[in-house]
A and B are shown apart, each in its own frame.
Chain A
Amino acid sequence: MQELLQQVVSGIATGGIFASLALALVLIYNAMGLVNFAQGEMAMLATFVALALIDHGMNYWIAFPVTLVIAFAGGIAIERVVIRPVERAPILTLVIVTLGLATLINGLAGFIFGYVPRAFPSPFPVQTVNILGALASYQDLGVIAVSAVVLLAIYLLLQHTTVGLTMRAAAHHPEASRLLGVRVSWMLALGWGLASAVGSVSGIMVAPILLLQPNMMQTIIIYAFAAAVLGGIESPIGAVVGGVIVGVTVNLAGVYLPFVGGDLQLAVALAIIVGVLVLKPNGLFGRPSVRRV
């Protein structure tokens, strides 16, 4: 029981990491109906930026928000430079563009920073704390806390600010929004900036565990897809709930199913993706898509 509880806490922490990246995917999906395959690589690049800042002597808790701001600006820049010229292209074109972007960023990071895995500092102590008889690491609790704060901030931004309202309006009905004076194209860029910032949180949180190298996010993005699909790809809350469920499930499966172990955890995520798409294509929080014909 005690061990189960421990594994659940650690699963929630992993889930928080997945949730941040899944939320980034959902933000862009909502804004333009596109799955951004470059989301993981954007997060990886941001993590390298964070490491560079810390290596230059910046305090972790200053480097963290500074990195988010840089990632935000970078996301906007990518939207303006790479996405905007093909904004009205068929969705398949956009998907290919994001795949190309992923390859480009990956290669760029390898070129600049090399492929040798680097240690990334964690701000949380290595000790454990006893909660209700279970031992939880400060690392896990810290990741949970950081993820929760970031996700809550995004929720408040989208639901309770004017800019969040207009972003949702632009995503929902671009034509009508434009006539109401919303700068739809700019809202799209903001969406990319926001997604880039949220996604980079997952990179920074996972780097101390996985070690930082250009391919670091390539498995994490699969888990994030699983989380987003499970939550219903259009639902921000779904992404968070999906992230936590995937995190806990994968963690428990790795510990309690001997044939899964550490090697087949990714297969569990893929099984979740396939299972959801077959059994409940709209996910837990998604709405069935209805089209007026």
Chain B
Amino acid sequence: MTLLDVRELSVRFGGVVALDRVSFTVDAGEVVALIGPNGAGKTTLFNVVTRVYRPTSGSVLLDGEPVSRMPPHHVVRHGLARTFQNVALFRSMSVLENVIVGDHTRTKSGWLQSTIPLPGTVREEARARTRAMEMIHFVGLDDVAARPVAGLPFGTQKRVELARALVSKPRLLLLDEPAGGISHEEVDATARLLRRIHDELGTSVLLVEHHMAFVMGISDRVVVLDFGRKIAEGSPGEVQRNPAVIEAYLGAA
């Protein structure tokens, strides 16, 4: 079943073509990696899928529904969550609070009810807390749950962001460089965590990443972009042998 369907997607900023008629899909249960040299359009593509940018032409369908017709705050209700390249956490809040914000669409009470401590509201907030703690446990951060995010190491912050994205129970998780800027051991741990997210939570993953060993180790399929165009797609093995990909990365001989 196709979860994400990117069709003939083009994005232009003035005269610059960031994406040029890119098409690919992510099926339910798949881990797909988006790779390519710097400036290939990977993050732009993420930003179109999550409604930060509007495409110049083409469309993105999430579960058959065009993303462009959803208000940005509804995207998460259609089962999409993401993390950011440089981590976009609420720095003054604790780890737990950050994750509870991620859970926010699942709590049903409106803003007015939430200010009045009725039994229903209290129960609901307790449930939100429990779900958030479960997810914090899942990513292995029980020890720092009450700590403010600002003082935590970058690798830990990335895990907080993962927990915050996961707590909404997304069907598709978009990860922008999950292995970027973290240590070797953390890269391995992140790969293991992604596998558990896929196996235990059944979440499909679309990720942008430069770390090739990481990408080749966990992806079912790899899509290669270069200068805004899709130049290759296939299994990690196929992509690594593809002459166009080798040329894009190493330059023509």
Q: Which residues of A contact B (CB under 8 A)?
A: 157, 161-163, 165-166, 168-169, 172-173, 175-184, 186, 190, 292
Contact = CB atoms under 8 A, between A and B. Distances in A.
29 contacts: A162-B128, A163-B114, A165-B104, A166-B104, A168-B93, A169-B90, A169-B101, A172-B92, A172-B93, A173-B90, A176-B84, A176-B90, A177-B101, A178-B51, A178-B72, A178-B73, A179-B72, A179-B81, A180-B76, A180-B104, A180-B164, A181-B75, A181-B168, A182-B73, A182-B104, A183-B73, A186-B111, A190-B111, A292-B86
B221 interface: no
Nearest to B102: A180
Nearest to B80: A179
Contacts of A168: 90, 92-93
A193 to B, nearest CB: 10
Interface string B100-117: 111011010101001100
Contact of A181 (B82, B105, B128): B105
Contact of B73 (A162, A172, A181, A190): A181
A132 B174 CA distance: 64
A183 B115 CA distance: 17
A286 to B, nearest CB: 12
B167 to A, nearest CB: 9
A182 B88 CA distance: 14
Contact of A165 (B76, B82, B86, B101): B101
A190 B74 CA distance: 19
Given A168-B90, A183-B73, 8 more contacts: A165-B100, A168-B93, A176-B84, A181-B75, A181-B76, A182-B101, A186-B111, A190-B111
Interface in B121-168: 125, 128, 164, 168
A181 B109 contact: no
B115 A179 contact: no
A192 to B, nearest CB: 14
Contacts of B102: 180
Contacts of A165: 93, 97, 100-101, 104
Contacts of B125: 162
A180 B104 CA distance: 7
B115 A161 contact: yes
Contacts of B88: 173, 175-176
Contacts of A179: 50-51, 72-73, 75-76, 81-82
B211 interface: no
Q: Point out which of B50, B89, B104 has the most chain A C-beta atoms below 10 A from its C-beta.
A: B104
Given A168-B93, A175-B52, A181 B100 contact: no
A95 B197 CA distance: 47
Contacts of B81: 179-180
A155 to B, nearest CB: 13
A162 B107 contact: yes
Interface in B46-63: 50-52
B15 to A, nearest CB: 24
A172 B115 CA distance: 20
A190 B50 CA distance: 25
Contacts of A176: 84, 88-90
Interface string B209-223: 000000000000000
B91 interface: yes
B178 to A, nearest CB: 16
B77 interface: yes
Contacts of B72: 178-179
Contacts of A161: 114-115
A180 B97 contact: no
Contacts of A181: 73-77, 104-105, 168
B63 to A, nearest CB: 16
B211 to A, nearest CB: 22
Contacts of A186: 111
Contacts of B105: 180-181
A84 to B, nearest CB: 15
Given A165-B100, A181-B74, A172 B111 contact: no
Contacts of A163: 111, 114-115
A163 to B, nearest CB: 4
A183 B90 CA distance: 16
Looking at A166, A175, A180, A183, the one whose CB has the most chain B CB atoms below 10 A away is A180
Given A179-B76, A190-B111, A162 B82 contact: no
A165 B84 CA distance: 21
Nearest to A167: B111
B205 to A, nearest CB: 16
